[in-house]
């Protein structure tokens, strides 16, 4: 059974799941081939479908309870139940921080207009807020109005840009491209380090095929450059990574083998 809890110095990371869908790898990567995917049988559910994950993260840091991303909500999604099972009290959440504004990362903010994290402040990337609230963008998707705008209307939203200190142990790290304001998070505590990836990468296959851009990258060239830079950095540092779309529980490292770089889950 996967270990969903990792300690980084005095910080506790708890991997949360909203869903573990099984779907064709071509949903995200339509320009790839099954031959390429078959080189990675550990990522495949069967001969046609890959394992996928909509993951979030709970963090205990500096006496604060923080949630990173709030999943998708909808049919088959169970983030709130998973939180309860893992001992996370929604009413005790102090801060919710979004790596970016996409439906599988902001989906449980509200249910039928009722807040699911009633005592939290919400940290929203400035670049994503600016992008999605433009008149030409806001109506192109169906989740901004019910899940994002009420944060501002209810006075519980704080915008951030660049390197922003969440707690003395957690700092945002700009990683734009997947979305204009996409941000990862650095964890530093008692000489130990971790990196919360967000959607810099969607699959472990991108450890080797780092040029591959999923259909969801809004600025592909920027996303590709960011992905190369970040994964190169994490490989060189040997840093522990939390990746929300990688196989459950999403903890691991980027390491170099004889002929390629790969994801080594823990």
87-100 confidence digits (pLDDT tens): 999 999 999 999 99
| 130 Cβ neighbours under 8 A, 6+ residues apart | 180, 181
Per domain, the residue ranges of the chain are 5-265
Q: State residue 258's pLDDT score.
A: 87
Could you tell me the CATH superfamily of domain 5-265?
Ribonuclease Z/Hydroxyacylglutathione hydrolase-like (3.60.15.10)
pLDDT for 111: 98
DSSP single-letter state for residue 25: G
pLDDT at 80: 98
Predicted TM-score of the model (pTM) = 0.96
Spatial separation of the C-alpha atoms in residues 3 and 204, rounded to whole Å: 18
The residues, ordered by sequence, that sit 6+ positions from 56 with a Cβ below 8 Å of its Cβ are 16, 17, 18, 67, 68, 69, 70, 71, 79, 244
pLDDT of residue 1: 60
Where the chain has pLDDT below 50, the residues are none
The kind and range of the H/E element at 173 are strand 170-174
Distance CA 120, CA 89 (A): 12
Distance between CA atoms of residues 177 and 20, nearest Å: 25
What pLDDT, on a 0 to 100 scale, did the predictor assign at position 47?
87
26: left (phi over 0), alpha (psi -120 to 50) or beta: alpha
């Amino acid at each position: 059974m996967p270990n969903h809890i990792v300690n980084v110095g005095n910080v506790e990371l708890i991997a949360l799941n909203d869903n573990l869908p099984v779907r064709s790898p071509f949903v995200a990567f339509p320009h790839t081939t099954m031959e390429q995917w078959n080189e990675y049988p550990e990522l495949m559910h069967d001969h046609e479908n890959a394992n996928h994950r909509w993951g979030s993260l709970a963090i205990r840091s500096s006496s604060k309870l923080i949630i990173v991303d709030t999943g998708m909500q909808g049919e088959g999604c169970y983030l709130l139940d998973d939180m309860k099972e893992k001992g996370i009290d929604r009413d005790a959440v102090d801060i919710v921080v979004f790596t970016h504004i996409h439906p599988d990362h902001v989906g449980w903010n509200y249910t039928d207009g009722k807040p699911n994290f009633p005592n939290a402040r919400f940290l929203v990337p400035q670049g994503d807020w600016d992008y999605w609230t433009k008149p030409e963008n806001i109506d192109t998707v169906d989740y901004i109005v019910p899940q994002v705008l009420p944060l501002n209307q209810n006075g519980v939203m704080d915008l951030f840009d660049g390197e922003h200190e969440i707690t003395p142990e957690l700092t945002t790290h700009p990683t734009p491209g997947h979305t204009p304001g996409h941000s990862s998070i650095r964890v530093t505590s008692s000489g130990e380090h971790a990196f919360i990836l967000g959607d810099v990468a969607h699959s472990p296959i991108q450890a080797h095929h780092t040029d591959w851009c999923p259909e969801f990258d809004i600025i592909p060239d920027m996303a590709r450059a960011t992905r190369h830079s970040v994964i190169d950095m994490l490989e060189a540092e040997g840093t522990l990574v939390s990746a929300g779309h990688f196989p459950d529980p999403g903890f691991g490292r980027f390491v170099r083998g004889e002929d390629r770089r790969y994801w080594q889950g823990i």
